[in-house]
Amino acid sequence: MTTFPLINGIASYELKTSDSNLFKETIHFYNQLVGLDRQSSGESKDVVFLGSSLCDFKVKVVLSPDARSAEESNDERHQISLLCKGSDWRSTTSSISLKVTDLNSLIRALKEKGYSLQITPNELYPYEVHTIDPLGTIVGFTTASNPMTLIPPVAKLTPDTIAATLQQPGITPSLAVPMSTSVSTDTTYYDGSDQPARRNIAVMTSGGDAPGMNANVRAIVRAAIFRGCKAFAVMEGYEGLVRGGPQYIKQMSWQDVRGFLSEGGTNIGTARCMAFKERPGRLKGCKHLIEAGIDALIVCGGDGSLTGADLFRSEWPSLIKELRDTNEITAEQYQQHKHLNICGTVGSIDNDMATTDATIGAYSSLARICQAIDYIDATANSHSRAFVVEVMGRHCGWLALMAGIATSADYILIPEKPSSTQDWKAQMCEIVGKHRSKGKRKTIVIVAEGAITLDLDPITANDVKDVLVEKLGLDTRVTTLGHVQRGGTAVAYDRVLATLQGVEAVKAVLDCTPDTPSPLIAIQENKIVRKPLVEAVRITKQVATAIESKDFVKAMSLRDSEFVEHLGNFIAMNSANHNEPTLPPAKRKKIAIMNVGAPAGGMNSAVYSMATYCMSRGHTPYAIHNGFAGLARHESVRSIDWLAIEGWNSIGGSEIGTNRSTPEDTDIGMISYYFEKYQFDGLILVGGFEAFISLDQLEKARSIYPSFRIPMVLIPATISNNVPGTEYSLGSDTCLNSLMDYCDVVKQSASSTRDRAFIIEVQGGNSGYIATHAALCCGAQASYVPEEGISLDQLESDIRSLKESFSVDQGLSKSGKLILKSTNASKVLTTQILADIIKLESNGMFDAKTAIPGHVQQGGLPSPIDRTRAARFTAKAVEFIENNCDVIGKYKFDLDFPYGDKTVSKTAAVLGIKSSHLKFTSIRQLYDFETLLGKRMPKKISWESSRDIADQLVGRTRVIKPEA
C-alpha cells in the first residue's frame, strides 16, 4: 500500500515506549497494516525506522526505559477513545497524516484487527479514516491530496480549549494542535472492543405484502451499514430462510436499496412457508443463517410472521446445539452464534397488531379505500344509488371503521361489534331510511370481509345488498376492492413510519443481550417505542380467540383505546339529528366553530365532525364564517344544518372560509358583542399560529369581556405544523402527501435525464417540519430548513456529496437527486441562486434545475389521517367544553374575575399530541413559556431527530458549528 506524507510538513515522527511487546506491535502496525517499509535503524535494535520509498518521510519507533509503560499507553488509548466516541476525531489532531492509494483495503485490514475507526463521511464513500495506533497516537489516512480542503474550517480551537476538553492527564503536546471542529453525523464509528457493534443483520418481509415494506427494508439496510454492520436480505420470506444459499440470503450494499422508497409491495419478496412451521424447517433456517454469518434478524410482517420469529429465537439454543452435535456446524461457529437477536416491525394493512397505533401499510391501504369510495360517492349521488363496499379485515374492522369515519358512510359492519341477524338488518335499514328521509341522495355501507353476526355467521356484501333492495327498495351495487387495497406506493405516513421503525429496529438488535426479550417496534400517538413482541402477539391472538368464543366485549376491550374511541365517535356522528340526543336538555350547549389562518386539509372534516357530534349530544352547533373579520364586519354566524354539510369530510380547503385576522386586528369589542348576542357556551378554533394568537387574545380579554368566559379550545390545523403544544397539526399530512407525490414525479424526471438534480422549494414558514419529513419520504440528498439556515460550509459539503453520488451512479437508473429548501431557510440563497451555484460548482458533471410546487402543497382532498384525526380531535374538544362549562361559568358575571387562576386559565387550551399522549395544554402555559413569538414557533422542535435520520440514510455529512 503506497503511502507518503501529507500536510504536516514533517520529515519524521518519533514514537517511544518502554514495553517490548508494544514496540513490536507498533512496528507491525505501521509496517504490515499501514504499508510503510521497514528500513535499517542505523543505531541499534531498539530503534526502527519505517518509511516510504517515494519520499524521505520516516516514522521512528524507539524502545526506551525512560518512555511510557504499556499501562500508561493503554490508559491513554482508552481515554482518547472515550473522548472521541462522542465527537468527530478530526476536531482533535492527527499527529501523523498519510495518503494511501487503497483506503478500502486499509479499512478492511484495520477492522479485522479490531482497531477503533472513524470513517468520513461513511463506509459507502470513504475519503478519510482515523484510528489510534498501539501507543495512543491518532493517525489519519486519506486518498485526497489535502484533507484540509475536504472539511471546511468552521472554527479554530486553541490549545487551552483542547486541554480543557480533554481533562485527562498524560496527553502529549502533539495532540493540542488547533484544527477545525466540524461534526459529521455520517461519520461511521467502529469500536474494535465492541463486537456486537459489528453484527451481521438480516431483514426479511413475511406474510401479506404491505405498502411501506420497501421503505422499512431500505432503512434497515442503510442504518446497519451506517453503524458498521453488514446488511443482508432474506429473499422470499421464511421460504428463502429454509432454502438458504446466496440466492436467498444476499448481502446488501448501500446502492441495492436505492429507489425503494417510492415502490410498492416488497422488492425482497414474501411467501407463505409451511416448512418453517415444523422444527426441521426451522433447523434448516438456523443452519443457513449461521452459514451466512448472521446473528441478528429483523422481520417485517404480521402477527403470524412475528410469532414464527419469536419461536425461532426461543428454539435457537436447542437448534444450534443439534447442529453442533450432528457436526453440521463447527465448534467455532457454535461459539460465535450462540444467540440470535430478533426484532419485529409490523407490516400489515389490517392494523391488527396490539400495543401499536399503526402498522406499516395500514394508512396506505386506507387511502386506497377512501379514494375509491370518494369516486363511488360521485356516481352514487348522481343516480341516487346505494353502494356496498367490501374491504379487507378478516379479524379486524379497523379499515372499515376508519373508512366509515373518513367518508361519512351510512353504516359499517365489523367483526368486533356484531348484532343478531335481524338486529343488524333492522338497525341498518332504520339509519339509512332516516338519512334518506332527511334528503340524502346516496348511501354508502362498508363491510369488512370478516363481518359476522352474533352467531358467527358471515355477513357478505351481497347479503347487505339484498337487504337494501328488499327492505328499502334502493338501487344497490356491490364493489369489492380486493387486492387494490394492497397496491400502489406507500403514503407519506407509512414511508416515515417504516423508515423510523427500521432505524429503531437496528438500534434495538444492537442493544439486545441474550436475556433481552425480543422487541417489537411500535408507535404510540407520535412516538416510536419498543414493546415486548411476545406480549403484543399474545394480545393480538386473544382478539380472534374472543371473537370465536363469542366474547365480543372482551374482543373490544383488547383493541387499543383509540379503536374504541373512534368506534364511539362514528356511532355518535352517524346518529346525528336522527336519534334522541344523549344529553338531557339542561346540559345542552351552544358551541361555535371557526377556522383561522391559512387553509389546511382536514378543516372541513373538523367542522363536519364537530357539528354531527354536537347534534348527537344535543348541542346546537354554529359556524362562524370567514374568521374573526367575518364575524366583526358581517355577523357571519350560521347554525349548521346536517344536510348542508353532508360530504364535507372529503372536501379540501375551508367551506366556512378562513383568514389570518385575529380579534385585535379586527374589533374585539364587536366580537364580544356577538358572542353575547348568540350566548355561545363554548368556542372551537381550528387553525394555525394565527388561531394560537387569537386564543391568547381572547383568554386575556376575559377580565374585560364576560362573553369570553367560556371554554375555548384550539385544534391545530396548519401545513407548517408550528403550533406550540402539539407535534401534529391537521393539514400537515395532506401537505406531506401532496409534496411527496410532486417530488416523486420530479425525481422520476431527474432520473430519466440521468445527470440532473432538482432544488425544490418547500413551504412551512419558519418551520422545517415539512421539508424534514419530505426528505425522509423521498430520499432527498439534503434539506435546508429555517432552524439551521444554509451555511457556506454545509453547501460546499453537499455539493461535494452530489459530485460523489453522480460519479457512483454514472450509467445507472434511479439516479435523480433532490434537494429540498424551505422558503425561509435563507434570505440570501434563494432557490434559483442555489441551483445556479450548484450547477456552476458541478463543473459540467451534472445539471441543476428548480421546482416550486407553491400552494399545491396545501393539498386537494384531505388525507384519511387528517379526516379521522379531525373527528377524534373535535369529539375531544366538545367533551372539553362540556366538562369545563361549570368551571368557568360560575365567574361569568363576577366583577373581580380571577385572572391568573390556573384552574380558570386551563379552560382555554390547545389540544395536541405530545410524544405518546393526546392532551390539553393551557394557552397561558404555552404562550408564556413554550413559544418563540418572533419566529412563530414552539421552543422545542419535536422532529429534530428525524433530520439526523434523513441525513444518515442518504450518506449526507452534516457540518455543525460549535455554537449550534
Catalytic residue ranges: 350
120 annotated as belonging to a binding site for a ligand = no
| DSSP secondary structure, 631-661, as one string | HHHH--EEEPPTTTTTTGGG--S-TT--BS-
Question: Cα 35 to chain center, whole Å?
Answer: 45
Residue 422 CB neighbour total at 10 angstroms: 9
User: Do 733 and 863 touch, CB atoms closer than 8 A?
Assistant: yes
Which cell numbers in the block locate residue 323? 447442529
279 annotated as belonging to a binding site for a ligand = no
Q: Which residues contact 854 (CB under 8 A, 6 or more apart)?
A: 763
483 annotated as belonging to a binding site for a ligand = yes
484 annotated as belonging to a binding site for a ligand = yes
Cα–Cα dist 827/578, whole Å: 56
304 annotated as belonging to a binding site for a ligand = yes
78 annotated as belonging to a binding site for a ligand = no
The packing angle between helices 732-752 and 864-889, to 10°, is 160
855 annotated as belonging to a binding site for a ligand = yes
699 annotated as belonging to a binding site for a ligand = no
Question: Cα 846 to chain center, whole Å?
Answer: 31
Cα–Cα dist 601/730, whole Å: 6
274 annotated as belonging to a binding site for a ligand = no
308 annotated as belonging to a binding site for a ligand = no
77 annotated as belonging to a binding site for a ligand = no
208 annotated as belonging to a binding site for a ligand = yes
Parallel, antiparallel or unpaired: strands 519-524 and 47-51: unpaired
721 annotated as belonging to a binding site for a ligand = yes
Which cell numbers in the block locate residue 444? 354508502
User: Do 435 and 576 touch, CB atoms closer than 8 A?
Assistant: no
Q: Provide Rg for the chain, Cα atoms.
A: 32
849 annotated as belonging to a binding site for a ligand = yes
477 annotated as belonging to a binding site for a ligand = yes
Q: Which residues contact 8 (CB under 8 A, 6 or more apart)?
A: 94, 95, 96, 97
303 annotated as belonging to a binding site for a ligand = yes
136 annotated as belonging to a binding site for a ligand = no
Which cell numbers in the block locate residue 383? 343516480
Cis preceding linkage at 159, omega within 30: no
* Phi, then psi, of 522 in degrees rounded to 5: -125, 175
- Rounded to the nearest 10°, the torsion over CA 522, 527, 528, 533 is -30
702 annotated as belonging to a binding site for a ligand = no
339 annotated as belonging to a binding site for a ligand = no
52 annotated as belonging to a binding site for a ligand = no
Strand partners, 908: 712
Residue 474: exposure state from Cβ atoms within 10 A (0-12, 13-18, ≥19): buried
393 annotated as belonging to a binding site for a ligand = yes
Which cell numbers in the block locate residue 201? 443483520
Residue with cell string 510503510: 36
108 annotated as belonging to a binding site for a ligand = no
Q: In angstroms, what CA-CA distances link 862 with 19, 399, 519, 772?
A: 72, 17, 34, 21
Residue with cell string 367560556: 710
368 annotated as belonging to a binding site for a ligand = no
660 annotated as belonging to a binding site for a ligand = yes
Detail the residues annotated as belonging to a binding site for substrate: 348-350, 385, 392-394, 449, 477, 483-486
Bind-site residues: 208, 272-273, 302-305, 348-350, 385, 392-394, 449, 477, 483-486, 660, 718-722, 756, 763-765, 849, 855-858, 936
Positions at the binding site for beta-D-fructose 2,6-bisphosphate? 660, 718-722, 756, 763-765, 849, 855-858, 936
Binding site members for ATP: 208, 272-273, 302-305
Annotated binding-site residue numbers for Mg(2+): 303
